[in-house]
Amino acid sequence: MKAAFFDVDGTLTDVRVWQGVMDYFNAHGLRKWTIRWFWVYHTPYFLLYKLGVISQSSFRRPWAAHLSWLFRGYTEEEAQKIWDWVVKEGIAGHWREDVIEILKRHKADGDVVFLVSAGPEPLVKRIGDEVGADVAVGTGHAVHAGRFTGKSIPPVCMDEHKATLTRKRIAALGLELDFGKSHAYADSPGDAGLLEMVGNPIAVYPDAELRELARRRNWPVFEQIKTPG
């Protein structure tokens, strides 16, 4: 059995889905002070990243983990409204239709389609439902007494953890996959672990860092994608 693994941000969409989460709260006038604190806390890390002082991962990992602050106290049912809004409003019009078509071809060929993202796993699952993916792997967020606690569950689904969390899910599902014949599609160096997991890694709309990594490792980039099979 083969699989196709897709990153979400920058790969299936041309926007970051975390922004869709922010947009939900802004559009509904909710959690204004939490959003302000989020920016105050993370902006210095962003500036350090831009100055080359810290890596992209060092900036992005806490960013993804702390999205929990926004939906702290929500039940899973209440949070579903956020995920639905992000898909139907926040990222509507921002799908990369050419990459979605690749996903659909894999699905038609009988491959197991995974979405693997640093985003909240319930949101990744909702996106998966929208595009027809089979399995969603994302960052876990703690729930206690039926409500989100405001804390993520380590590790953030990024870098090497994309591969380890995906393999853990594959084992839990009892799937036997031929990784050598499987494909992975992603856009940033934080996805390298996912791309390295398969025999057919493809850099899709890569940023400068991933484009350089793809050049060194002779990975095809988006313009060289061929129909699966």
Q: Quote the CA–CA distance of 70 and 149 in Å, as a whole number.
A: 10
Q: How confident is the model at residue 222 (pLDDT cuts 50, 70, 90)?
A: confident
Q: Does the residue 229 lie in any domain?
A: no
CATH code (residue 82): 3.40.50.1000
Query: Model pTM greater than 0.85?
Result: yes
Average pLDDT, the chain: 94
DSSP bridge partners of 141: 152
User: Could you give the number of structural domains in the chain?
Assistant: 1
Q: Does the residue 200 lie in any domain?
A: yes
The residue-averaged pLDDT of 66-92 equals 96
Integer angstrom CA distances of residue 153 from 66, 89, 143, 146, 156:
10, 27, 10, 16, 7
Q: Does the residue 212 lie in any domain?
A: yes
Report pLDDT for 56.
81
Report pLDDT for 223.
65
Q: How confident is the model at residue 189 (pLDDT cuts 50, 70, 90)?
A: confident
Query: For 19-78, how does the pLDDT look when each residue is reduced to its tens digit (9 = 90+)?
Result: 999 999 999 999 999 999 999 999 999 999 899 999 888 988 999 999 999 999 999 999
Q: Does the residue 136 lie in any domain?
A: yes
Q: Does the residue 84 lie in any domain?
A: yes
Map tokens 């239709």 to a residue: 97
Asked if 102 and 12 count as a contact pair (C-beta separation under 8 A), the reply is: no
The residue-averaged pLDDT of 132-154 equals 97
CA 140 distance to own-chain centroid? 12
Asked if 190 and 118 count as a contact pair (C-beta separation under 8 A), the reply is: yes
Q: Does the residue 190 lie in any domain?
A: yes
**pLDDT over 60 (residue 226):** no
Report which secondary-structure segment, H or E, holds 140.
strand 135-144
Q: How confident is the model at residue 227 (pLDDT cuts 50, 70, 90)?
A: very low
